Structure 1
């Protein structure tokens, strides 16, 4: 090994021989390759005096990029390199990753997958089981401890046993039944209110109208009560045997189950007064809309489609961007709504009759939101030139506000869509570079 700048050093990397000048290896002092130029290097590393070469059992493919880094001072990496493998090689040659060129850094980090992202599919499934294990460790082996996992699995995991399948089928029948009852009740209300308004022309209710309505919907109320009694039993058992009460109410479907119990019980409690308070019946009907949300529980009976799981985690990952988008949309609503309101006040139009066609600025906020989202109902239109210009600007800014975040959503969606295939690919036997 010579000491001059033109002296050559031979390296055998995994069976591939590389030859370079010692001055090239001194480009970055303090690294392993630089230490090969020291006089005591043969005694430290695997040096063959016969062939006069250093041997390292490392990746020859990556080392070629490492050697070029010493030559050009710009480190690039192969496009098909795994990040963990590259980090291991860089650490062996004592090269800082921060010196990676920007083009390759972007390519490498674009393919990077965080460890927590690989486990997103199993977190929710393991939560209940972990809670049951913790409770079993903390409590004595009582009857409740013995039966809690069985009963909880029977109500929450439809395919865990034959009894769980039967219970899920019964629950499904009650859910479908109460949705049908809800539709029939609204049909009865529609017929009742249509007849009332068409005959009298106002919202006053006569005694005969009440008798007609409640006589028609009485049997529906009894059937609805039967369904709600089942839901009450189901909700009570699930809540009593739930491993974690806090997590139980953090599930939106459980909140829906809880709210769906109130309308029938309230209607039975005030049965003697509801005929004198028709608005209460309408509000109870409004709350009954949660019956439709119970249809989401059907997802437990089938495997959740991949697209829905990916969409769920994508929305969670871009929650911050969604909040920023809503803030921008709220600002634009206030801004363009105010411009529209005062523009219509200050403007003039030949069709004006002296009455303002806009009630107040809150109506303008509604108009601005509908215009920004490019819906444009047409219930409120600008009559002045300034108002028309404001409407055009609002439509343009609305399209920009909505379309710009779409690429962010697509990138995240594709990332999670690729991640969901990693566990299955790890189990496939590899033949060359393809998983067959």
Structure 2
């Protein structure tokens, strides 16, 4: 018979066998020709669209069904994805994009967030079902950094682990959150001290190191004027090198240095997995800052090493002192408390391709327009070298325009116009992609947090009802016992 009957979850569908043969390689086209009745325990609503695909030769994704579920149905019936209508691509693959975004949020969630401790077992089961096996393995590896190291006694494990949670996981307890805020306060205090430290007007007479040559420079006005006006040494550098900071600033700076060094040492010692500690860029930043602060403090107490003609040690002092400004980056520790900052860092992390595209396209444009302006102004003395020309193209494309170098010919004006317009285009396109990544992550994270809130609310309501029922049962039991007596 040419008529075939399907019983799909209790709903009867009838069609011609020739209709099933319209799509080669599909599950329905390979059915046994000797049978004319089949039963499948699946969703009849979805099967209706599968059957329509065989009738019309094209697949339309229903709007009342999850696209991911419908895609699974398409793959189950072995329908080629090439039959999906172009009008449905956006609807289908937007869901795929959202799924990838939620994977990122789930994989980078804070395991020790006190708000996520309700019904943790069910949450982990849902996450394991949602994330693929490879992603789940990476997630478990990342979660293992929060575990306890094997081979240590149980008491030592507990003590070290609690200290590590206090220092590293602000969401694990109230004390950890207070410690995080105190740490941020120390970061802000150290930066304020550093800014005041660099001001030459607050420097005082040297008291840390007594050196005859340095005293001679300060006391001899002619020698001082010679260094400033004849030797062309910046007066700001002379005051910063030869004079000492105020005693109060020195005490505050030493306190901040000791605090950060001790915190870094303790944080490393109590870290459960030492190898994982060095895989974190933030920890490398802390180690480098501790070295920079220690070196700058030592040289501050040994100004006799900073001779006017000894540029090596002086350059090293200024390098490490300048690197101390990076301690402000330690404030990014707040990303474990504030979701918005966490999402911003995730956006940068997952926009590496767009950032590389921005850097690559920008580098090409800088070289091209640098060479063009150098060739256009070859008769002018404004652009002495191709390097200066590339500096001009960089500043022009970023719309800064210092005005230190500028074209003077008609050809140069044309190149300048093209350079400025191209700079706007080159900067705008990749940045729009990065902003789109941030917007997508931020929106999905808001939905994710809303979902967690609803789950916690439902769980707490269930727990409250169970407690009321148990309490009522206990009262009933006691009443029955009293009546029996």
TM-score (norm 2): 0.69
Matching residue of 1:340: 373
Structure 1 pair 212–382 and aligned structure 2 pair: CA distance change class (3 A):
closer
Structure 1 pair 142–85 and aligned structure 2 pair: CA distance change class (3 A):
closer
CA distance in 1, matches of 2:170, 2:324: 26
Structure 2 stretches lacking a partner, 5+ long: 113-139, 205-220, 456-485
CA distance in 2, matches of 1:409, 1:168: 29
Which of residues 216, 220, 237 is equivalent to 2:249? 220
Structure with higher helix content: 2
Q: Deviation of residue 274 (structure 1)?
A: 3.0
CA distance in 1, matches of 2:437, 2:403: 36
Structure 1 stretches lacking a partner, 5+ long: 47-55, 348-355, 430-436
Matching residue of 2:350: 317
Which of residues 273, 276, 284 is equivalent to 2:305? 273
CA distance in 1, matches of 2:26, 2:227: 94
2:407 is equivalent to residue 382 of structure 1: yes
Q: Deviation of residue 360 (structure 1)?
A: 2.2
Matching residue of 1:76: 60
Counting only pairs closer than 5 Å after superposition, residues 16-165 of structure 1 correspond to structure 2 as: 18-28=13-23, 31-34=26-29, 38-42=33-37, 45-46=38-39, 56-112=40-96, 113-114=99-100, 116-117=103-104, 119-122=106-109, 130-131=144-145, 133=147, 135-136=149-150, 139-141=151-153, 144-158=156-170, 160-161=172-173, 164=176
Q: Deviation of residue 31 (structure 1)?
A: 4.3
CA distance in 2, matches of 1:124, 1:384: 63
CA distance in 2, matches of 1:394, 1:95: 51
Write the deviation string for residues 224-277 of structure 1: whole angstroms up to 9, x where unpaired: 112211221111111122223343234333233223333443324533223646
Matching residue of 2:285: 256
CA distance in 1, matches of 2:190, 2:65: 56
Structure 1 pair 411–79 and aligned structure 2 pair: CA distance change class (3 A):
farther
Structure 1 pair 197–292 and aligned structure 2 pair: CA distance change class (3 A):
farther
RMSD of aligned Cα (Å): 3.7
TM-score (norm 1): 0.76
Matching residue of 2:451: 425
CA distance in 2, matches of 1:22, 1:245: 65
Q: What's the secondary structure of 1:229's corresponding residue?
A: helix
Q: Which has the higher contact order (CA 8 A, sep 6+)?
A: 2
Q: Deviation of residue 318 (structure 1)?
A: 2.4
Q: What's the secondary structure of 2:258's corresponding residue?
A: helix
